[in-house]
Structure 1
Amino acid sequence: MVGKPAVEPIGGKRMSTILLRNALAVALATVLGGCMVGPDYRRPDVTVPAQYKELPGWAAATPADDTPKGDWWVAFNDPLLDELEPQVVVSNQTVAKSYANYQAAVAEVQVARSALFPTLGISGSASKQRSAAGNAGSGVEHLHPISTAGSLEGNVSWAPDLWGKVRRTVEENKATAQASQATLANATLSEQTALATAVIDLRVTDANIDLLQKTVDAYTAYLRVVDNQGKAGTVAPSDVITARTQLENAQSKLIALGVSRAQYVHAIAVLVGKNPEELDIPHNARLPTLPQVPAGVPTTLLQRRPDIAVAERQMASANAAIGVAVAAYYPSISLSAADGFSQSPLAGLLHVANHVWSLGADVSETVFDAGARHGQVAAARADYEAAVANYRGTVLAAFQNVEDDLSGIRILAQQAQVLDAAVKDATRGSQIAFNEYNAGTVDYTTAAVAQATQLSTEQEALSVQQQRLLDAVSLIGDTGGGWSADALGHAPVALSRNGVR
């Protein structure tokens, strides 16, 4: 209750109700027709190329409806990816953290929006007391009867958003929530591409293990031949040592691959939210299929990359923050009203004669603050300019990422063709060198060099296959993985039992 209660008859109660309604109606009309200080948001222009530099020499145009959408990993035709990728959304802890941050940002929007509406409350009190009375010096006191008192009161308070400060705050928080939602999408995509990368690395490691096992078997057979010839005295002892050393080096490399394989399995387990000991992946040297990934046109990145959406929404939030800072220059108004009953003794509290009411209004304006508001506005504008620079830098980096991916895919395809021929030649050369060694026309060093060349060429070809697959994953991630900024504002709003969605 504001001010001293005024006791009125029934006509006064009606008058207070009329005054309260009129005050609220006038304030509401003022708010609805009021202005919002600060600049309205418009997305800054960025320079977007008409097409990617690498695209003309890379591949023929592909229809846009072939662009990866949703479960983009199915294009790699790997059952392990199909099994594990959906678990990233549910169990990955990085994704769960981003989802919780998004939920908090959504709640902040609700908090900010609540300031647009009046606050209603109700309060009541009751007390019981008894006092003593008597003549001074007589030593005789008498107790008054017990008295009771009470009150019951409803109150309302409201600060009309005359200059749009609250609405700008809602706008700022809403943009921040959308940025958090895009951050969630970006975290999900990043963890999904990390999982695809780890699975590809694991498959290549298994293929390398098979390659080295085949090499160890071949070197074992070579050593048996050379050792028999050494015992017969037809070759120098150094040939036997060379053959044995070559075998032992291959065996060492084969054993070392076990460490890499274990680490990839552990990384995969963590990405799907499991303890490393919970996941066991059988050996499988079959590499994923290399998909055809259409890059689209550069302008689609502005809608399809969640990190760009994050930067753009951060710009919108910073722009709204300018309006919040500018609103501090204008006076603030708050209205309050109370209506209720107060009575002592308590009996008959709700009688008309005990009715009390009050109306109040507060107006405040800062006259001098030594430049504090000016500094806050300047800081908000500087934050916006920083957000603009971050947005444009993010767009430029996105174009660079895609160009790098396209370059890698195009150039590595050419290298793969050359290496396929080199593997055939190296395999044939190794067979010829060993046959010549058996014929006694060359020493074993020549045969050993040819065999080492075959192994290194096969490993390099496998490495190029690996990098082509990784570039395809990177291109899918760098073009948004099928995500679209149209999804902003439509994310789920509840956690499942195990995590997100």
Structure 2
Amino acid sequence: MSNVQRVTKVHCLLATACISMLAGCTVGPNYHKPAVATAPAFEEPHVEASAQAQSDIAWSNWWTVFSDPVLNNLEDQAADANRDIKIAVAQVDESGAMARVAHSYQLPTIGADPSISRTREAQYRPNNGNTYGLASTYNDLLLPLTLSYEIDAWGKIRRMVQSANAMKQASDADLRFVQLSVSASVAVDYYSLRQTDAQLAIFDETVNALQQGYQIVDNQFQHGLVSELDVKQAETLLNQVRSQRDALHIQRDQLEHAIAELLGRTPEGFHIAVDTRLQAPPTIPAGVPSQLLERRPDIVASERSMASASAQIGVAKAAYFPQLSLTGFAGYESANPGAILDWQNTIASLGAGVVAPIFTGGRIRAKVDNARAAYQVSVSQYEKTVLTAYQQVEDQLAALRFLANQEHDSASAVASARDQQRISLNRYNAGLVSYLNVIYAEQTLLDNEQLEAQVSGQRLIATVVLVKALGGGWEGRPSGQVSSHLDATQTTPAISDAKAR
């Protein structure tokens, strides 16, 4: 081996070593998930995972713990056809494609640039043998492959890949949050509709009872046994209850329409059969506050967005340093197409370039400041999302605790109101009191029965909202859960039905 060859080999090794060292340099901060203070337990008392609690709530179909086949069917339809879910799926595909785009910058770009031309040059053209050459006409056929490659000396591309991967993970979590929101909306509207069914059944029974009472009073008036005032009082209450029932019918139809929209359907031809039963809600274990950071998809999405914003600081900082690139081509060139593939007609070129910023008017610094500010925004947004999650869980735990007490108290009030109605009707029939006492007792009974149905429905709705606040199900989650850190290099069948009079 000659001295020239040794020197050339040493230079190549040194250049390779320098490129490797530069490639290992990554500017910008390495991401670390910020610590969030969590309480050891929720403020509101709740049921821990036990034999009585539904602790094995499925990740993909949490609503099955309510043991309602109609709800199960509605949820399955929504999962297949809801437009918000379809939009979120498309956004996941979009972010996945952008992540692949970022990955592609880690590889060289190779392309083909063939061309063919025919040229005639003048005899007395410049530099043609001191003007004594001849005019010429020739063909030029090029078959080259081009190459361009940016050396990731400062980690700009690696930070871009990290940012794109984190955004892809955030989109995955956003999709899960949309699915959870849609399924919770279906369940809330469904149990609101069931609550309306129970209230309508109470109104129907009340209207029937008041209609019978009105007929009795009117007959008594026709025989001169009571005054017209009693008739008008009975008629007024009857019409008032009918009006309230009509308003509930509007509410039921609107709930059906809302559910149809969530299922990706038009309201025409969509109906849910009436069912006045309001079952007791399942018991949901809240767990400990720290579990929210893993369960709630909106928290995961916010944390991944924060990781992406952190990587963007490195992308912005890399602009301070020179951009190193390799360009080259290799192929064939010939004036004779028949000899284009001859070895003597091969051509090749390889070059390296450096572009370094000297004066940018503060543009690079402004972009770095912008990236840092965006990261701080994402940190505050993450903290806000966590605090909101804690609040929502505490709200529903408090609601369920007091709704259980309220349901017991309202059931007692209904029993007392029913006794009051019976006593007042007996006293009226005995001629001891006016019909106004009966009207007052009927109105009191109706109000308390309506309240009891509302409380039973609200317990079911609050349970659904609690499941959503806890992040949906937590058993059987997909194995590829989002990492918390970004690598620096890469039911009880009790029935509360409308009470018979």
| Cα offsets for 1:215-248 (capped at 9, x unmatched) | 0110011112211211221211100111111111
Aligned mate of 1:172, from 160, 163, 166: 163
CA distance in 2, matches of 1:406, 1:176: 33
CA distance in 1, matches of 2:19, 2:248: 73
Letter in 1 for 2:95: A
CA distance in 2, matches of 1:485, 1:322: 31
Question: For residues 186 and 153 of structure 1, do their structure 2 counterparts lie closer, same or farther at Cα, with a shift above 3 Å needed?
Answer: same
CA distance in 2, matches of 1:122, 1:343: 17
Aligned mate of 1:62, from 50, 68, 84: 50
CA shift for structure 1 position 68: 1.7
Aligned mate of 1:351, from 336, 342, 352: 342
| Cα offsets for 1:403-460 (capped at 9, x unmatched) | 0000000011011111111100101110110110010111000110011000000001
Asked if 1:109 corresponds to 2:102, the answer is: no
Larger displacement relative to structure 2 (195-204 or 255-264): 255-264
Asked if 1:45 corresponds to 2:39, the answer is: no
Counterpart in the other structure of 1:73: 63
Alignment of 1:137-176 (within 5 A): 148-176=139-167
CA distance in 2, matches of 1:132, 1:163: 51
CA distance in 2, matches of 1:154, 1:405: 65
Asked if 1:286 corresponds to 2:298, the answer is: no
2:280–2:456 Cα contact (<8 Å) kept:
no
Letter in 1 for 2:382: Y
Q: Which runs of 5+ in 2 are unaligned?
A: 1-8, 124-134, 484-501
Alignment length (residue pairs): 464
CA distance in 1, matches of 2:65, 2:344: 81
Alignment of 1:161-310 (within 5 A): 161-310=152-301
Q: Secondary structure at the match of 2:459?
A: helix
CA shift for structure 1 position 25: 6.0
CA shift for structure 1 position 489: 5.8
Counterpart in the other structure of 1:370: 361
Counterpart in the other structure of 2:493: none
1:128–1:149 Cα contact (<8 Å) kept:
yes
Q: Secondary structure at the match of 2:114?
A: strand
Question: For residues 197 and 431 of structure 1, do their structure 2 counterparts lie closer, same or farther at Cα, with a shift above 3 Å needed?
Answer: same
Question: For residues 396 and 29 of structure 1, do their structure 2 counterparts lie closer, same or farther at Cα, with a shift above 3 Å needed?
Answer: same
Question: For residues 420 and 257 of structure 1, do their structure 2 counterparts lie closer, same or farther at Cα, with a shift above 3 Å needed?
Answer: same
2:54–2:65 Cα contact (<8 Å) kept:
no
Counterpart in the other structure of 2:440: 449
Question: For residues 436 and 65 of structure 1, do their structure 2 counterparts lie closer, same or farther at Cα, with a shift above 3 Å needed?
Answer: closer
Question: For residues 193 and 233 of structure 1, do their structure 2 counterparts lie closer, same or farther at Cα, with a shift above 3 Å needed?
Answer: same
Q: Which runs of 5+ in 1 are unaligned?
A: 1-17, 134-143, 491-501
Asked if 1:479 corresponds to 2:467, the answer is: no
CA shift for structure 1 position 380: 1.1
Alignment RMSD (CA, Å): 2.7
CA shift for structure 1 position 131: 8.9
Counterpart in the other structure of 2:419: 428
CA shift for structure 1 position 61: 4.9
Question: TM-score if structure 2 supplies the norm length?
Answer: 0.87
1:67–1:293 Cα contact (<8 Å) kept:
no
Alignment of 1:128-143 (within 5 A): 128=118
Letter in 1 for 2:467: I
CA shift for structure 1 position 256: 2.3
Alignment of 1:93-104 (within 5 A): 93-104=83-94
| Cα offsets for 1:93-142 (capped at 9, x unmatched) | 01111111111111111001111111112222223567999xxxxxxxxx
CA distance in 2, matches of 1:314, 1:241: 67
CA shift for structure 1 position 152: 1.2
Aligned mate of 2:370, from 371, 379, 404: 379
Letter in 2 for 1:446: N
Counterpart in the other structure of 1:470: 461
Counterpart in the other structure of 1:361: 352
Q: Secondary structure at the match of 1:261?
A: helix
CA distance in 2, matches of 1:292, 1:282: 27
Counterpart in the other structure of 2:492: none
CA distance in 2, matches of 1:207, 1:405: 23
| Cα offsets for 1:333-391 (capped at 9, x unmatched) | 00012112211133312222222211111101101122221111111111111111111
Provide the identity percentage. 37
Question: For residues 179 and 60 of structure 1, do their structure 2 counterparts lie closer, same or farther at Cα, with a shift above 3 Å needed?
Answer: closer
CA distance in 2, matches of 1:313, 1:132: 66
Asked if 1:83 corresponds to 2:73, the answer is: yes
CA shift for structure 1 position 60: 5.4
Counterpart in the other structure of 1:124: 114
CA distance in 2, matches of 1:65, 1:440: 56
Q: Secondary structure at the match of 1:66?
A: coil
CA distance in 1, matches of 2:482, 2:359: 41
CA distance in 1, matches of 2:336, 2:14: 34
Letter in 2 for 1:154: L
CA shift for structure 1 position 304: 0.1
Counterpart in the other structure of 2:4: none
Counterpart in the other structure of 2:391: 400
Question: For residues 482 and 230 of structure 1, do their structure 2 counterparts lie closer, same or farther at Cα, with a shift above 3 Å needed?
Answer: same
Larger displacement relative to structure 2 (123-132 or 361-370): 123-132
